[in-house]
Amino acid sequence: MTRPRQPTLRLLSLNVNGLQDKDKRRWLFNLLERDKWDVILLQETHHRSPEEGAAWAQEGPNGLRCNWSGPAFWCHYTSQSRGVAILFRATAKTSNLTVRHSSATGRTLSVDFTFSGLPYTVVCVYAPSVAADRPHYYTQELLSSLPGDRHLLVGGNFNCIAGQQDMLDPDSPPGQRTLGYWTGLRHVETDHSLYDVWRDLNSDRRAFTHIATSGQSAARLDRWLISERLRARVSKEPQAIGNVLGYPGDHLGVSLSLTAPAATLYGAAVWRLPLHLLDDQPFCDRIAEAVPAYLGAHPLGPDLTRGRRWEDLKRQVKDIALQRSWALAAQQRASQKVLEADSRAAMAAYSRSPSAETLLAWQDAHQLLQALNAEAAKGAALHAGVVWQFYGEQSTFWFHHLARDRQSRTELKALRAAHARAASAI
C-alpha cells in the first residue's frame, strides 16, 4: 500500500584541512556520493578562485566524470588557508538556490533555498583560529550577513566553545577555547534565536570533533546552530545528529537531518533488475533453479492465468535480486562497520578517561577507517576508468539506449522454455 512519507534534508559540515591534493578530493567526493548527503558544508578548502573550486567539482576520477553533479558554490582565499564551499546534491528536494553572501575573507558563505515550501538560508562558517580575531568576525562579518526573515542553518568550524562541557579534559580550564564565544558568537545566537542542536539533545554528554595539535586536549569546535522555529523539524531518527567518522580532514564531520512536517504521498517506486547481478554467479545459479521450480509448482488453470503467473514470477525474481543485493552490500560494509565500531569505542574510551594513551588509540583507529575509505575511492575511480575505456564520451541519450538494448537481450531461458512447452501443448 502507498503510505505517507516525510521529505527529509540531510546535511553534513566538514573541515577538510585542504583540498589541493587530487587523491584527497577523489576520496572526499566518493564518500559524499556514497552517503547521499543533500547539503554539504566544507571548510578549509584552500582553493584560490571560484574557477578552481568549480574545476575540482568537474574533474572526476582521473578526469572521466564529474566529482559532483549538483549545484556547488565556492568562496575562496588562498591555496594555503581558509576557503569554504556549499554543495547541493542534484536530487535533493531543494529549489530556488541563490547565493546570499560570500565574504572576501574566505570564511563565510551563505545560500538561500526553498525546502518543502519554506525559505531557508544555509551558512558555512570557518571562524578564526586566533582568539583575538573571533569577536570581530562574529559581530562584524557573520552577524550582519544573516537574514532575519528566513529559517537559518548555520554550520561549520566555530573554533570556540561555550564552556567546560565542550572539552574532554575535565581537569583543564577552557582557556583560549571560550574566547570569542561570549563576546561574539553568543550575540549571533541571541539576535537570531539560534540553538546548538547536538547540545540540546545531549545536555549531559561530552564529545569532541577536533584534537589539539599538541595532542593534549580535544574540543567540540564543529556544530550546527539552527533557528528555534526548526526545533520540531529535527529528525528523530538514530544518527540524525552527531559525529561522522572516516572522512578526510583533521576534524570529525557533524550531521543534521530535518524532516518536513507535512507528509507527502509517494506511490510505489519503479524497480529494475540491477544488471550487475547478471555477472554474479550465485545469483544466476539461484535464478536458474528458482524459475523452473516456481513454474512447476504453479501450473496454469482456471484460478491462475498466464498474466497473473507472470506477475507473480516477477515478484519472486525481484525478491531474490533484492536479497542478493542486500547480501553483497552487507559484505562490502562489513569491514567498514568493524572499523567504525573500533573508532567509536576508542573515542568513547578517550571521553571517559582522557590521556595520551587513549588519545593515540583513537587516532590509530580513526586513521584505519580513513585508509579504508580512501581505498574505496580508488576502486570507484577504477570503475569509472573501465566504463570510459569501453564507452568513451557519449550523450545521455546514448547511455539510455544502451541500457534498453541490453535489457532487450536479457533472457530468462528457463521461463522461455516453459512457455514454449506450454504453447506447444495447446
**183 within a domain of the structure (yes/no):** yes
**Candidate from 58-62, 255-259, 347-351 with smallest mean pLDDT:** 58-62
**210 within a domain of the structure (yes/no):** yes
* Pair 296, 337 in one domain: yes
Residues 6+ positions from 421 with CB-CB distance below 8 Å: none
**372 within a domain of the structure (yes/no):** yes
**Candidate from 56-65, 174-183, 285-294 with smallest mean pLDDT:** 56-65
* Pair 257, 368 in one domain: no
- Tell me if residue 95 falls in helix, strand or coil: strand
* Pair 351, 396 in one domain: yes
In whole angstroms, what separates CA 227 from the centre of its chain?
22
Kindly state the cell numbers that stand for 59: 574533474
> In degrees rounded to 5, what are phi and psi of residue 88?
-120, 135
| pLDDT score of 222 | 96
The answer to whether 73 and 109 are in contact (CB under 8 A) is yes
Dihedral through CA 316, CA 399, CA 70, CA 229, nearest 10? Answer: -30
Please say which residue of 265, 292, 314 terminates a domain.
265
| pLDDT score of 368 | 86
Q: Which residues of 151-172 are buried (b: 16+ CB within 10 A; e: fewer)?
A: bbbbbbbbbbbbeebbbbbeee
Between 4 and 143, residue with greater pLDDT: 143
d(CA 177, CA 211): 12
Q: Which residue, among 15, 250, 256, has the nearest Cα to 127 in the 3D structure?
A: 15
**328 within a domain of the structure (yes/no):** yes
What confidence tens digit (pLDDT) does each residue in 77-101 have? 999 999 999 999 998 999 999 999 9
> In degrees rounded to 5, what are phi and psi of residue 112?
-85, 145
Please say which residue of 265, 300, 330 terminates a domain.
265
| pLDDT score of 173 | 67
**401 within a domain of the structure (yes/no):** yes
Q: Give the CA distances from residue 204 to residues 33, 101, 207, in Å, rounded to whole numbers and listed in that order.
A: 34, 36, 10
**270 within a domain of the structure (yes/no):** no
- Max Cα distance, the chain (Å): 90
pLDDT category of residue 306 using cuts at 50, 70 and 90: confident
* Pair 90, 235 in one domain: yes
Task: Evaluate if residue 191 carries a pLDDT over 70.
Answer: yes
| pLDDT score of 1 | 39
**143 within a domain of the structure (yes/no):** yes
* Pair 281, 258 in one domain: no
* Pair 203, 98 in one domain: yes
d(CA 38, CA 11): 6
In three-state form (DSSP H/G/I as H, E/B as E, the rest C), the secondary structure along 350-385 is: HHHCCCHHHHHHHHHHHHHHHHHHHHHHHHHHHHHH
* Pair 172, 49 in one domain: yes
pLDDT category of residue 141 using cuts at 50, 70 and 90: very high
* Pair 325, 365 in one domain: yes
Residues 6+ positions from 195 with CB-CB distance below 8 Å: 189, 225, 226, 228, 231
- Counted residue by residue, the chain has a size of 426
The mean per-residue pLDDT over the stretch 257-268 comes to: 64
The answer to whether 41 and 94 are in contact (CB under 8 A) is no
* 112 DSSP β-pair partners: 98, 121
* Pair 393, 257 in one domain: no
Q: Mutual orientation of helices 306-352 and 281-297 as an angle, nearest 10°?
A: 140
The answer to whether 244 and 253 are in contact (CB under 8 A) is yes
Please say which residue of 217, 243, 265 terminates a domain.
265
> In degrees rounded to 5, what are phi and psi of residue 46?
60, 40
The answer to whether 139 and 153 are in contact (CB under 8 A) is no
* Pair 45, 64 in one domain: yes
**154 within a domain of the structure (yes/no):** yes
The mean per-residue pLDDT over the stretch 92-121 comes to: 95
Q: Which residues of 43-65 are buried (b: 16+ CB within 10 A; e: fewer)?
A: bbbbbbeeebbeebbebbbeebe
The answer to whether 255 and 273 are in contact (CB under 8 A) is no
- Tell me if residue 4 falls in helix, strand or coil: strand
* Pair 287, 372 in one domain: yes
What confidence tens digit (pLDDT) does each residue in 381-407 have? 665 554 444 445 555 655 566 566 555
Average pLDDT, the chain: 83
The answer to whether 86 and 62 are in contact (CB under 8 A) is no
Q: Which domain holds residue 325?
A: 275-425
Between 155 and 305, residue with greater pLDDT: 155
Identity at 324, one-letter amino acid code? R
Q: What is the CATH number of the domain that holds 55?
A: 3.60.10.10
Kindly state the cell numbers that stand for 293: 521450480
Task: Evaluate if residue 252 carries a pLDDT over 90.
Answer: yes
d(CA 117, CA 151): 12
| pLDDT score of 274 | 77
| pLDDT score of 384 | 57
The number of distinct structural domains making up the chain is 2
* Pair 298, 251 in one domain: no
